Amino acid sequence: MNKYLRLLLWNIVFIAVSCGKQIPGDIIQPSEMEELLYDYHLALTMGNDLSYSERYKRESYKNYVFNKHGVTEAEFDSSMVWYTRNGKVLTDIYKNLQKRYEMAEEQMRSELNKRSGQISVSLSGDSVDVWSDRNLYWLTSSPLTNRLMFDLKADTTFHKNDILVLEADYRFLSYVKNSAKAVVAMNITFKNDSTLGISKVIEKSGKEQLVLKPDSAFDYKGVNGFVYFSNPDSSEVSVLINNIRLVRYREGSYNITSLNTPVVVSKNVGETDKQNEDKSEPKKEVQRVSDRKVRKAGEPQNIKQVSEK
């Protein structure tokens, strides 16, 4: 009797374990796999859209995704083998991906409306991302692919004194020491034809922001700018720019004083500004810190004697 009772108990335990699918520890877990697959398919789509002469970038796009999620291609492949054999789990993941892609498609329609000057009502508010281009770029040393340029037409949703913040994740790809850098610039053109600009040099990977706050209450006409990649040492280096956003903030809704922003350079070409040029406040000079060694009190000074000719 005890024998049959034990056998029945083992059957119950077996059925319970079988119903709850146990994912091995060396397999990428479903939530992480969903995030990885989302970026992975976007990278494949971008690779398929490349011209024939740029097809070599496909592998770089995929490697960027693997590095971003901290996995190797071998780990991804072995995990996909497991998910393929367990179709129910993989199906659930792709159902979630489909919903996310549909939401992204809806957002893309809104971005197209922005480009045509028709920002939808749902994008109104104190802070709005007005970036209308793709949010992933790969810049190389080639003259054909070493820059990103944008030009946005301002519409009625732009108000006087709006603050613009251009932000992105920069990842320099290199296996050797180099002096590569990316120069980022952004300019506002006002309806009186005056302009206001700012620039910044980026030399290491990480998230960077470029903040531009108008110093005059003029109506916006447009916003333009660029990211220029420069690498005088080697053509082996490149930079991936991801999660690009250009956020418009209403005056008072963004704390600009907490950021160490570059010096803003303003160039006025309007007739009204020319008349007031002499009345403007003097420009602030950039403070520079010397790298010379300070000699302590009492320390002998090493003076190099120069012979007279």
Instruction: For residues 110 and 302, give the distance between their C-alpha atoms in angstroms, rounded to a whole number.
Output: 67
Predicted pLDDT of residue 115:
57
Yes or no: say if 178 and 231 are a contact pair by the CB < 8 Å rule.
yes
Q: What are residue 136's phi and psi, to 5 degrees?
A: -140, 120
Yes or no: say if 272 and 191 are a contact pair by the CB < 8 Å rule.
no
Instruction: For residues 294 and 309, give the distance between their C-alpha atoms in angstroms, rounded to a whole number.
Output: 31
DSSP state of 121: G
> In the numeric block, which tokens belong to residue 43?
């990278």
Predicted pLDDT of residue 235:
63
* 71 — pLDDT class (breaks 50, 70, 90): very high
pLDDT tens digits along 91-135: 889 888 888 887 887 777 766 665 555 444 344 567 888 887 888
Instruction: For residues 59 and 44, give the distance between their C-alpha atoms in angstroms, rounded to a whole number.
Output: 9
Mean pLDDT score of the chain, rounded to an integer? Answer: 75
pLDDT tens digits along 182-218: 999 999 999 998 999 999 999 989 999 999 988 877 8
Q: Which is higher by pLDDT, 47 or 223?
A: 223
Q: Which is higher by pLDDT, 268 or 47?
A: 47
The total of other beta-carbon atoms located within 10 Å of residue 18's CB is 9
* 74 — pLDDT class (breaks 50, 70, 90): very high
> In the numeric block, which tokens belong to residue 20?
């709850």
The total of other beta-carbon atoms located within 10 Å of residue 63's CB is 15
What is the end-to-end Cα distance of the chain in Å, rounded?
116
